[in-house]
Amino acid sequence: MNALVSMSGIEKSFAGVPALSQASLEIAPGEVHALIGQNGAGKSTMIKVLTGVYDRDAGDVHLAGVPSRISTPREAQESGIATIYQELNLVPLRSVTENIIMGYEPKRLGFLVDWREGNRRAREVLARFGIDIDVTEPLGNFSTAIQQLVAIARAVSLDAKLVIMDEPTSSLDASEVEVLFGVVRELKKQGVSVLYVSHFLDELFQICDRVTTMRDGRTVSTRNVQDTTKLEMIADMLGRNKDEIAADGLTDFAGAKAKKGDIVLRADSVSTGPRLTHFDLTLHRGEIVGLGGLLGSGRTEAARALFGVDSARSGAIELHGAVGQPSGPGDAIANGVGFLTEDRKAEGIIPDMSVRENMTLALLPKLASRGQIDFGREREIVQAFIDDLGIKAAHMDQPIRELSGGNQQKVLLARWLATQPDILILDEPTRGVDVGAKREIQSFIRSYVEKGFGVVLISSEFEELVEGADRIVVMHEGRSVKELTNPGITENILVRALAHHEEGTGSWTAQ
């Protein structure tokens, strides 16, 4: 039998930078196939090539054995490929029925929507998965899990042969995940293939048949899930030999070692939801504490809790010895906390505003007096950071969108340094910047810490954590599970910490 989807030799570059290089993927009819890899591995680009969002530069795509060149998402849908993104493309204020039949409404008299028939179709397709809800109710009245299932029902109603699910369980609790898994199994019974993208490796063993791993834009392995282990998956993702990360070492997390300088931040058993269930951390003045873990381990969720973006359901956070989580980002900033988010474009820069305006956004309350901003002082501060960080801009009033990624990141770093925080949380501070800018940012962070401030550093690059952090708290599935202390941490030791916990080997002996 021909594969339902066969992609081979796929090449895709952006501005001359390869995003995919000789990548491949094959999905069988009625198969649940996992696609995994670290950030930047090429998973999203591969899916967008398959679904017509991007046009490939080279390579072949076959659907059911027939050569294909899908050029738009609509063509992909008409070819039987439905994509359910992590951020659902649904309309909460519209009814369940409207979301299922949108764009394919049954008509009467040639132009009127036949709502009776539409409601019947919606109930019928939902019933295939054991879902009985009022389809005339607005979709937003239902839980995230139900909305996920409505998105799947829409795909099935369009006779999808392949359903692509991008991180489908990221916003679901344990009971909702089980419901989703039941639907995936039902799709498989009906002969529908599923491409399942997830960072949560435990899930793959419950519902997936095979797993393809990507790294640096290349396909590095395809394995039968039941014939492999999480250790082998991690080794594939990280480009390591599994035997090299199979040795014993280290101890379970037991709290921070004594450190010079006052404690400025402490988190004790903090939980914010299913993706952060037990987080412990202690940060002193004059040190960098790294958060290490695979994507989906809870690192960013921990940072959001410390900055007051997400409220803690249990546990305690102390700032400067005072118990009480920040009530929100404004409260965190007022208490000397800064937070550089991982998504520079979506949550960092304001593209049409100038370098100066972007840099001083968080500082404006301190620059204002009786409703008037001290623009002279503002320009002095901006120029000082442009000089100190080596920001390359024509002038401070240049739109930030015109700067390179590295210089944009320096502006965002300066935004928080300008507030003179005692605690700086950095989530992927050097992602997407060139080597020169990366070294400059790392050097500036270290000089900042040497002045007595504390930094929480999140990075997917193990080398950055090993070289830059005084201690590393290892996270796994929303929990802080181990702590490593420099000097003495190596990349292999950090990888072993991650891999051993994935394999559930229990406590270890320190090396």
Fold adopted by 5-243: Rossmann fold (3.40.50)
Q: List pLDDT tens digits, range 131-175.
A: 889 999 999 888 777 888 888 888 878 788 999 998 887 667 677
Among candidate residues 417, 437, 434, 433, the one with its CA nearest the CA of residue 425? 417
Radius of gyration, CA atoms only, the chain: 25
Domain boundaries, the chain: 5-243, 244-336+421-511, 350-420
Q: What is the mean pLDDT of the chain?
A: 85
Burial of 459 (0-12, 13-18, 19+ CB in 10 A): buried
Number of H helices, E strands in the chain: 17, 24
The H-or-E segment that residue 197 falls in is: strand 193-197
Q: How confident is the model at residue 257 (pLDDT cuts 50, 70, 90)?
A: very low
pTM score, two decimals? 0.61
Go through 412-439 and write b for each residue having 16 or more CB atoms within 10 A of its CB, e for each that does not: bbbbbbbbebbbbbbbbbbbbbeeebbe
Among candidate residues 472, 503, 496, 498, the one with its CA nearest the CA of residue 486? 472
Residue with the bigger pLDDT between 260 and 96: it is 96
Compute the C-alpha angle 62/68/69, nearest 5°: 135
Q: How confident is the model at residue 356 (pLDDT cuts 50, 70, 90)?
A: very high
Residue 487: is the preceding peptide bond cis (ω within 30°)? yes
pLDDT at 291 over 90: yes
Q: Which CATH class is domain 244-336+421-511?
A: alpha beta
Q: List pLDDT tens digits, range 419-443.
A: 888 999 999 888 766 556 777 788 8
Percent of the chain with pLDDT over 70: 91
Report the first-to-last Cα separation within the chain, whole angstroms.
52
Q: List pLDDT tens digits, range 150-162.
A: 888 888 787 889 9
Domain 5-243 shares a fold with domain 244-336+421-511? yes
Predicted pLDDT at 246: 52
